[in-house]
Amino acid sequence: MTSIGEIKELFQSATSENLPELMKLYESDERIGVKKIIESAQKRIVALEKEKQRIEGLRQYEEKYKEFDYICGIDEVGRGPFAGPVVAGAVILPKDCRILYINDSKQLSEKKREELYDVIMREAVACAVGYATPERIDEINILQATYEAMREAISKLDPGPDILLNDAVTIPGVAIRQVPIIKGDAKSISIGAASIIAKVTRDRLMKEYDTVFPEYGFAANKGYGSAAHIEALKKYGPTPIHRRSFIGNFVKI
């Protein structure tokens, strides 16, 4: 007789599509441990179906504008931090794209964002990021710098987009049709994908900065104004990647 441990390994290694067949194979097994394994598998199937339904809901805007060949999601990350750039992501997904677990990047764990980043980069029709440096943010203000980063990301796409689905904003200086969507990163699969690309890109960059300026904890705080970050600012002063226009309340500029 197959041991419960072996059966558990079988179920854990099985794809969700193969679970029903496995469940049928062991449904007559009266052992408590096996019954629990089957119950867990059933919950996994239910959760997968729920996620598929959620993704269909995330496609509402992509379906609404399906007459356009290249629908691009736009989002940014890093408007609030004291240090580092603002980063914009632009993603054109395939028409039938249903990548599971895409969501507003803030709702995902770092591990899940990293996993989805690889999937999105592999499956996207086109994907690009744009940056605005701390110096540029100080020069033209964070909102204008965000628009600039978004325009850069859009300009790098090949093929170029026919329509833009934006997270909340309308980007000035862009001739392409735009659809601003409030909380769009949680309502559109394209914007959600863009938010993940932008977030992972910026987080990786801030981890690199952490090796250059280890006193500020950039790997952990990503440049945001944590208590430890503010304390380091007061003790060591600003670095070249600090936004002078953001930190005047804590250090003399």
- pTM of the model as a whole: 0.90
Give the Cα separation of 33 and 244 in Å (integer): 61
pLDDT in tens, 26-74: 989 989 999 999 999 999 999 999 999 999 999 999 999 999 999 999 9
Sign of CA dihedral 95, 101, 104, 105: negative
pLDDT in tens, 226-240: 999 999 999 999 999
Instruction: Give the tokens for residue 119.
Output: 């999937």
pLDDT bucket at 23, cuts 50 / 70 / 90? very high
| Helical segments of 175-253, H only | 189-212, 218-221, 227-236
Q: How crowded is residue 131: how many other Cβ atoms within 10 Å of its Cβ?
A: 20
One-letter amino acid of 52: K
Q: How crowded is residue 1: how many other Cβ atoms within 10 Å of its Cβ?
A: 7
Give the Cα separation of 242 and 83 in Å (integer): 4
- Cβ atoms of 184 and 169 closer than 8 Å: no
**4-13 vs 32-58: helix axis angle to the nearest 10?**
10
Q: Which domains does the chain have, with CATH numbers?
A: 4-57 (no CATH), 61-201 (3.30.420.10), 208-246 (no CATH)
Instruction: Give the tokens for residue 49.
Output: 């179906």
